[in-house]
Amino acid sequence: MLPDRIDWHQRFIQQSNWTISIREHLSTKLNFCDAENIIELGCGTGVITEWLRSIHCHNVYGLDVDRTNLQTGKTHYNDQTITCADVYHSPFPEGMFDISLFHYFLMWMSDPLEALIEIKRITKKGGLIIALAEPDYGGRIDFPNELTVMGKLQTNTLLSAGADPFIGRKLGHLFNKIGLSNINIGLLGAEWKMPVQKYEIEGEWGVISDDLDKQLSINEIDKLKDINEKAYEADERILFVPTFYAWGFTQL
């Protein structure tokens, strides 16, 4: 379950900024705008769904189980076609969508294979299923070294919340299990543009501190925050979580 005290709309915007390059690349390579119907599963507040509309995709749909996120999204993007439903029991007919995609989504599924089976059902034969971003905390890098502990603690928090922090490396396996063809798997590149804006640091720390809250004392968290902020000020902070993308075609 997502913590209430985080501004999730801003967090989703931040995550979308991390993946803009791969989305732009794939939208051209895979002809998103030729799709008659396209859906984002786990659309949250609709940030990626709105991006799809902004590049002139035709009929864009969103689905998410969290009604609060969807209501928040409507205050920002009131023209979206969104549905509140469980991905395991989506209300859409078989083969409705030319493209079904998701973004930081499978990691939160209690049964990602079953979720993909349902996503395949609503995707037309010969259609595309695309994982835009799924992380793998097993390869996380933090610098300065004193911050390495944060990766281990955040991984523990994700596991405790029922998420799979190692889902990225499993995309090929999962796509093969549901019988997709012409599967492509890649890893998002990384670059660090310094200085980082203060609001970006604060937004990221809001999530980190929530993850650390039940594992460290306030003093320990404050000490890590101080190291984190000073590293950014010195243009030395490195935080890298390998993030995978993948796509494949349903069988004709």
Q: What is the pLDDT of residue 1?
A: 43
Q: What is the pLDDT of residue 3?
A: 45
Rounded Cα distance between 65 and 190, Å, is 31
Q: What is the pLDDT of residue 95?
A: 98
Is there a contact between 113 and 85 (Cβ–Cβ < 8 Å)? no
Which string of b and e fits 118-153 if b means at least 16 CB within 10 Å? bbbbbbbeebbbbbbbbbbbeebebeeeebeebbeb
Domain CATH number, residue 119: 3.40.50.150
Domain that holds residue 80: 8-249
Decide if 175 is inside a domain: yes
Decide if 154 is inside a domain: yes
**Long-range contacts of residues 73-78, Cβ cutoff 8 Å, at least 24 apart:** 73/9, 73/43, 73/44, 73/45, 73/46, 73/47, 73/49, 74/46, 76/9, 76/45, 76/46, 76/50, 77/46, 77/49, 77/50, 77/53
Decide if 3 is inside a domain: no
pLDDT tens by residue, the chain, 252 residues:
444 557 889 889 989 988 999 999 999 999 999 999 999 999 999 999 999 999 988 999 999 999 999 999 988 987 779 999 999 999 999 999 999 999 999 999 999 999 999 999 999 999 999 999 999 999 999 999 999 999 999 999 999 999 999 999 999 999 999 999 999 999 998 777 766 777 777 777 877 888 888 889 989 999 999 999 999 989 999 999 999 999 999 998
Decide if 49 is inside a domain: yes
pTM of structure: 0.91
Decide if 1 is inside a domain: no
Decide if 2 is inside a domain: no
Is there a contact between 175 and 168 (Cβ–Cβ < 8 Å)? no
Q: Half-sphere exposure of residue 5, counting CA atoms within 13 Å on the CB side?
A: 8
Amino acid at the residue 138: G
What backbone torsions phi and psi does residue 100 show, to the nearest 5 degrees? -120, 125
Q: What is the pLDDT of residue 2?
A: 43
- How many domains is the chain partitioned into structurally? 1
Decide if 197 is inside a domain: yes
Q: What is the pLDDT of residue 190?
A: 77
Is there a contact between 213 and 156 (Cβ–Cβ < 8 Å)? no
Decide if 210 is inside a domain: yes
Is there a contact between 162 and 249 (Cβ–Cβ < 8 Å)? no
3-state secondary structure string across the chain: CCCCCCCHHHHHHHHHHHCHHHHHHHHHHCCHHHCCEEEEECCCCCHHHHHHHHCCCCEEEEEECCHHHHHHHHHHCCCCEEEECCHHHCCCCCCCEEEEEEECCHHHCCCHHHHHHHHHHHEEEEEEEEEEEEECHHHCEEECHHHHHHHHHHHHHHHHCCCCCCHHHHHHHHHHHCCCEEEEEEECCCCCCCCCCHHHHHHHHHHHHHHHCCCCCHHHHHHHHHHHHHHHHCCCCEEECCEEEEEEECCC
